[in-house]
């Protein structure tokens, strides 16, 4: 038993240190409600001005996890991590948003992605419609921001609840 404790405690500390280091590298989600930045921005307002944004989504097209709106003429250099896909026109955007709204999940909201901890208007990198979290990482050398996608969420319309994420037979 003593030999087991000598092995397991250092191993547990090593794993814990690795997890903390990995999480620290991604940084906080940097998501706030637009109203906390002093802006009265709604999803409908962003969609009505969609031509001013580059629009992406994460998750499968039939079960999107997030829709991302990045201002075309923003000041910050934004990089998207693998997992974001470009929205192909207004029709696809409408379809993605409809699929998300069908869930009637009160956690799905429009969030402002901010670059700093102050939540000022000039700190806004873009907007995301999701119930999840977009991690924002700032590269200290280039000053660019990398946005990591939101993981797909369970949707009973497409997946069998008894089998987790096993596709539902239609």
Helix residue ranges, H only, the chain: 2-26, 43-48, 89-101
% residues pLDDT > 70 (the chain): 69
What's the confidence (pLDDT) of residue 87? 98
What's the confidence (pLDDT) of residue 85? 97
Beta strands in 15-167 (DSSP E): 31-32, 53-58, 66-71, 78-80, 84-86, 109-114, 124-130, 135-138, 145-148
Give residue-wise pLDDT tens across range 13-52.
Answer: 455 444 443 444 444 448 889 988 888 899 999 999 999 9
* Averaged pLDDT, 121-125: 75
Give residue-wise pLDDT tens across range 78-109.
Answer: 999 999 999 999 999 999 999 999 888 889 99
Give residue-wise pLDDT tens across range 124-148.
Answer: 899 999 999 998 999 989 989 999 9
């Amino acid at each position: 038993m003593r030999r087991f404790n000598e092995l397991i405690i250092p191993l547990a500390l090593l794993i814990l240190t690795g997890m903390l280091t990995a999480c620290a590298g991604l940084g906080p989600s940097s998501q706030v409600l637009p109203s906390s930045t002093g802006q009265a921005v709604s999803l409908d307002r962003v969609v009505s001005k969609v031509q001013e944004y580059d629009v992406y989504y994460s998750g499968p097209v039939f079960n999107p996890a997030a829709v991302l709106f990045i201002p075309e003429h923003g000041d910050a250099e934004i990089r998207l991590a693998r997992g974001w896909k470009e929205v192909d026109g207004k029709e696809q955007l409408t379809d993605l948003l409809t699929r998300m709204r069908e869930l009637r999940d009160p956690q799905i909201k429009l969030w402002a992605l901010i670059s700093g901890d102050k939540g000022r208007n000039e700190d806004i990198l873009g907007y995301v419609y999701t119930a999840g979290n977009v991690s924002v990482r700032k590269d200290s050398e280039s000053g660019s921001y990398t946005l990591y996608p939101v993981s797909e969420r369970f949707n009973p319309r497409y997946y069998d609840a008894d089998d987790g994420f096993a596709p539902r037979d239609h």
